[in-house]
Amino acid sequence: MSFLLVPLVGPFHRRFPRYNAVTVREVVAAAEPDAILTTALPPGALDDPSWQDVDEPGLAPVVRWARDAAIPLAAVGEPSPDPDAPTDFVRYLAQSAEDHPALRRLADARAPLEELLGRALDLPRIQRELLPAVAAFHDARSEAFGDGPGTDWLERRADRMAELLAPWSDRHAVVLTPVDHLPAVRRRLGEAASDAEDVPPSAAARQRALLDTAFAGEADDPAGLIAALREIDEPEARLAEAETLLGHGHAAEALGVLREAVRGDFAEPPYLPGWLLARLGQLYDLDGRREDAKRSYRGVLALSWAPAPAREAAREGLERPFAPPTSETTA
């Protein structure tokens, strides 16, 4: 048996139309695994809904699909003991020497990685180009700093993740692995690791790309985007439509869209109830309907789970009426 590695790219899933959250789910489903593992979360994390606050959009659709299909799931990650340590370490070096040679080498290794992340990558390019660039950056960092705070203890964490994967070696397991540490994990798995295969774009993946474009607030043709969103009969599309309307100065129309959305079932995807109610409260505030706004904010806080930014927006909304910044986009 082997471990099939499926890379996770964090928030870049929303910016990669050919490798968005739905694509990840479809890549996993096409592999027909008998177990699904992830190094993005520590053991036991999947037992608490707060794991969804981790910014890995590709993870949640796979978890829902696996649970529906009764496929075993396990988190096998080793968290960082101090996530701020790498940044603090680099800051210390920069303060100690204005032009530190290690930082120059690190910048040179980071440049190809940053250039690639500025493109809309698909799975083959992630495997062929991005992962080698990540590995080269990590190798340069390890050579400069050793394995410690400057490297986020990547090597020892990868050792531990390999240990947690070992009991699953007799299964046909998919491993969802953030690109930040996928090369290190793969080195430890050796011949037991193989790459996931790409899948053709599906209608669901294209729809996900459209929604991601709307939430990013970067549409070249807002009217065309709204028209396309109105063809999607799902509550998430109503939130995307409202976001687009609000972003272009049509708050009253956005309020009408969300008021209609909450009359139906808007329980899925799991992030949606919190975001939709938080935005509805803000739109009520903009419309001068303070009591309706408060009811919406309280609705967010009454949910068993809502995204952390939605909860924060609700708490702030209860303290004071919403006043939008210069531009508005959802997370």
What single string gives the DSSP state of each residue in 305-324?
---HHHHHHHHHHHHS----
pLDDT score recorded for residue 327? 47
- Return the half-sphere exposure (C-beta side, CA atoms, 13 A cut-off) of residue 318: 13
- Domain 203-319 top-level CATH class: mainly alpha
**Low pLDDT (below 70) residues in the chain:** 1, 93, 96-99, 326-331
In the numeric block, which tokens belong to residue 225?
């985007």
Question: Whole-angstrom distance between the N-terminal and C-terminal Cα of the chain?
Answer: 39
pTM: 0.91
pLDDT score recorded for residue 330? 45
Question: Cis ω on the peptide bond leading into residue 269 (within 30° of 0)?
Answer: yes
pLDDT score recorded for residue 92? 72
Q: What is the mean pLDDT of the chain?
A: 93
Contact 164, 76 (CB under 8 A): yes
pLDDT score recorded for residue 150? 85
Q: Which residues of the chain does CATH 1.25.40.10 include?
A: 203-319
Neighbours of 108 (CB within 10 A): 12
Query: How do residues 221-270 score in pLDDT, each as one tens digit?
Result: 999 999 999 999 999 999 999 999 999 999 999 999 999 999 999 999 99
Neighbours of 132 (CB within 10 A): 14
